[in-house]
Structure 1
Amino acid sequence: MIPPPLGLYVHIPWCLRKCPYCDFNSHAVSGEVPEAEYVDALLADLDVQAPRVAGRAVETVFIGGGTPSLFSGAAIGRLLEGIAARLDLTDAAEITLEANPGTAEAARFADYRAAGVNRLSIGVQSLDDQRLRALGRVHDAAEARQAVGWARAAGFDNLNLDLMYGLPGQDLQAALADLDAVLALAPEHLSWYQLTLEPNTLFHARPPALPDGDTVGDIMEAGLALLAGAGFRQYEISAHARPGRAARHNRNYWTFGDYLGIGAGAHGKLSAPDGRVRRYSRPRHPRDYLAAPAASGSERILSANELPLEFLMNALRLHSGVPATLFRERTGLSLAVIETPLAQARARGLLEDDPAVLRPTALGRRFLDDLLLLFEVGE
């Protein structure tokens, strides 16, 4: 089996304050962030993992969190130098770093760019100060705009902004005004997604008053029209990009590509030459990871029964779908193993009636969970 494209995910778990809606593996910092020790741990982790992908080119690096912009430019530079020394990083690799406006500094952004970061993802979430306070964010709208200005001044010409809708007390007019304000910042990419109440978060335990389903539907419909009119193409459920600016790292996830994962709680997925697909994770707590960075949090080989759903729950998020031939390339399985649910999905109008492409219809995108349910099988 030809190995799929390969990326690297790096998790930096600290943030200034845990947001009430966040279910990511993030930890509010108390005192100084141990950036030197953590970079040492990340590279030690990579020393163990790199031999598993010897000879394979790494096309993308994504440094996420948490708040990676808590780390200095020097620390990120040492990390990227260590990655390049251990992996075959392509010259045209997309290297993304997530940043929080509350930790933004002009000099720090310039240092990130000089270190080799070529794509910045800024967690704006809203440009309405009232909504930002309701979300528990540590920045205000002015700081978010300032962060974008600093990113541009540092030479970043590939910028993603995160924006949420369906926020506490938000109506259609407020949501569209927020979207308009973010579009005025002229990002190349926009992650526009609905606030959801996830288990094990403060908002799940004490839910705020959110817009009703009809209002959220109206926001989505009007917002999609606004984005399309501004020249953005929706290529995934919550991802919108100007031509040529789709996130390569995320597209690799959605097309069932491979990726190494380093850092506290990081996940990875690797395909073996014999077709087996292995998922693994690292210890979640930073303390445990620093003590034993190469320890395995979990590791398992996906069964033949699991592979179709694992593939499709990623691929069917893409509006353009994927070539039907990619199913065999990524799973090692014949498309015949899902012939019955494919026929059912097409009969129900959830999947395009095109044997060459696996692509959800507009109805299938709207009811993606129902579409994926057709492909669930028992062990």
Structure 2
Amino acid sequence: MSATTPVAVNPPLSLYLHVPWCVRKCPYCDFNSHAIRGDIPEKAYLAALLEDLEQDLGLVQGRAIQTIFIGGGTPSLMTGDFYFRLFEALRDKLAFATDAEITLEANPGTLEQGRFEAFRQAGINRLSIGIQSFNPEHLRVLGRIHDRDSAHRAVEAARTAGFDNFNLDLMHGLPGQTPDQALSDLREALSHEPPHLSWYQLTLEPNTEFFSRPPDLPDDDRLWDIYRAGAGLLQENGFEDYEVSAWCQPGRASRHNLNYWTFGDYLALGAGAHGKVSLADGSIRRYWKTRQPEAYLNRIGSRTAGAETIEPDERPLEFLMNALRLKAGVAESLFAERTGLPLESVRVQLDQLRKEGLLVSDRLQATALGQRYLNSLLERFL
């Protein structure tokens, strides 16, 4: 592998902040989420987050935050006052881009009008609302705490509070789901004219209830029928699938997700959060925080639980496994900018993939055939 050089221009810098608590753990969820026992320790968690930030400030040396994503768990369980104090403190320590995209994950069962308004006043300007389905039976099987009506009310309340930039999360391939039921979910979501939809297939992940007791999921033929019908409906309504499971109206892609998929940098704050930063010496560091909420709160000193360097021979795969998920791919020049490696270091593999019709000729972009065999394509860079 060719020698690396420090990147000429730092990648965009994002911030991922994790709130680990939820009302109830869903049977399909493999995220770092923990059911609430008693009151959420907002004050203590805020103090821990800010101590955590102090430890990491040297990693970014005054770079401006372009996007923030607050995930969970259920971040909408926290009060508007928590976020007001959090962003007040963050802005005191970090530079924010004037047009920073700040997204909060929200679940319909934890929201009311006043809380949306408080989130907006705190500085949040984008929501990702976890609906998953409008079908009562599917909501029950998925262990969701909201019903169809509260899902609709949550979206309406978000609009009333002034949020015109929001994502709706929907799942497909649910237990016993038919194509008509999947289309019904999409039509109900589309009735709110969302600028962005995440529409992803339910998968059985290790360490979940569904993995240990698998539900009866649709077979491959039905999954394809569901996807084909849903994709057609979304395209008819002006949506573009800019990533495998991300759909948006033109110009409304998630900037935070795009930074992640193009090997940008992101700070990590909060229990179990993961980060990645490019350093001045040319190294690229991945790190993660203490996972258990109680341990994170009580940790003295650094809350970083582990870290590793992304070695030069690992970077092509790390870069391409995300960039090639984007339907439009990326410019060839971005490879060197983000990895510190010359494009010639992977020229042999790229030329062969183009001969096989898996990549287009002038960009790092998979063809339709390449998208179909993306995992096999990426194995060339192992």
Paired position in structure 2 for 1:238: 245
Which amino acid is the alignment partner of residue 308 of structure 2?
A: R
Paired position in structure 1 for 2:116: 109
The answer to whether 1:334 aligns with 2:356 is no
Which amino acid is the alignment partner of residue 261 of structure 1?
A: A
Q: How does 1:113-132 map to 2 (within 5 A)?
A: 113-132=120-139
Paired position in structure 2 for 1:366: 372
Mapped to 2, the partners of 1:200 and 1:281 lie a distance apart of 19
How far is the alpha carbon of 1:51 from its aligned partner?
A: 2.6
Mapped to 2, the partners of 1:89 and 1:184 lie a distance apart of 34
Which amino acid is the alignment partner of residue 352 of structure 1?
A: V
Mapped to 1, the partners of 2:377 and 2:206 lie a distance apart of 24
Q: How does 1:149-160 map to 2 (within 5 A)?
A: 149-160=156-167
Mapped to 1, the partners of 2:117 and 2:303 lie a distance apart of 34
Identical residues among aligned pairs (%): 57
Q: How does 1:84-233 map to 2 (within 5 A)?
A: 84-233=91-240
Name the structure, 1 or 2, with higher relative contact order (CA <8 Å, separation 6+). Answer: 2
Paired position in structure 2 for 1:58: 65
How far is the alpha carbon of 1:161 from its aligned partner?
A: 0.3
How far is the alpha carbon of 1:19 from its aligned partner?
A: 0.5
Mapped to 2, the partners of 1:365 and 1:66 lie a distance apart of 31
Cα RMSD for the two superposed structures = 1.0
Which amino acid is the alignment partner of residue 75 of structure 1?
A: F
- Aligned with residue 53 of structure 2, among 46, 60, 81: 46
Mapped to 1, the partners of 2:369 and 2:204 lie a distance apart of 24
Any idea what SS the aligned residue of 1:323 has? coil
Aligned residues: 374
Any idea what SS the aligned residue of 2:205 has? coil
How far is the alpha carbon of 1:294 from its aligned partner?
A: 2.8
Any idea what SS the aligned residue of 2:287 has? strand
Moved segments of 4+, more than 6 Å: none
Paired position in structure 2 for 1:77: 84
The answer to whether 1:274 aligns with 2:318 is no
Mapped to 1, the partners of 2:305 and 2:358 lie a distance apart of 37
Q: How does 1:308-327 map to 2 (within 5 A)?
A: 308-327=316-335
- Aligned with residue 305 of structure 1, among 302, 313, 318: 313
How far is the alpha carbon of 1:128 from its aligned partner?
A: 0.6
Contact 2:59 2:279 in 1 (8 A): no
CA deviation string 1:79-123 (max 9, x = no partner): 111111110011210010000001011100100001110001100
Mapped to 2, the partners of 1:39 and 1:49 lie a distance apart of 16
Mapped to 2, the partners of 1:160 and 1:372 lie a distance apart of 29
Paired position in structure 1 for 2:3: none
Any idea what SS the aligned residue of 1:221 has? helix
TM-score by length of 1: 0.97
Any idea what SS the aligned residue of 2:238 has? coil
How far is the alpha carbon of 1:60 from its aligned partner?
A: 0.6
How far is the alpha carbon of 1:129 from its aligned partner?
A: 0.8
CA deviation string 1:290-322 (max 9, x = no partner): 112732211011111111000011101111100
Mapped to 2, the partners of 1:240 and 1:50 lie a distance apart of 34
Any idea what SS the aligned residue of 2:62 has? coil
CA deviation string 1:129-183 (max 9, x = no partner): 1110011111111110010011011110101000000000001111111111111
Mapped to 1, the partners of 2:114 and 2:189 lie a distance apart of 23
How far is the alpha carbon of 1:26 from its aligned partner?
A: 0.6
Mapped to 2, the partners of 1:117 and 1:366 lie a distance apart of 37
Paired position in structure 2 for 1:21: 28
TM-score by length of 2: 0.96
Mapped to 1, the partners of 2:352 and 2:146 lie a distance apart of 48
Higher mean C-alpha deviation, range 30-39 or range 48-57: 48-57
Q: How does 1:341-360 map to 2 (within 5 A)?
A: 341-354=349-362, 357-360=363-366
Paired position in structure 2 for 1:262: 269
Mapped to 1, the partners of 2:218 and 2:302 lie a distance apart of 44
Any idea what SS the aligned residue of 2:68 has? strand
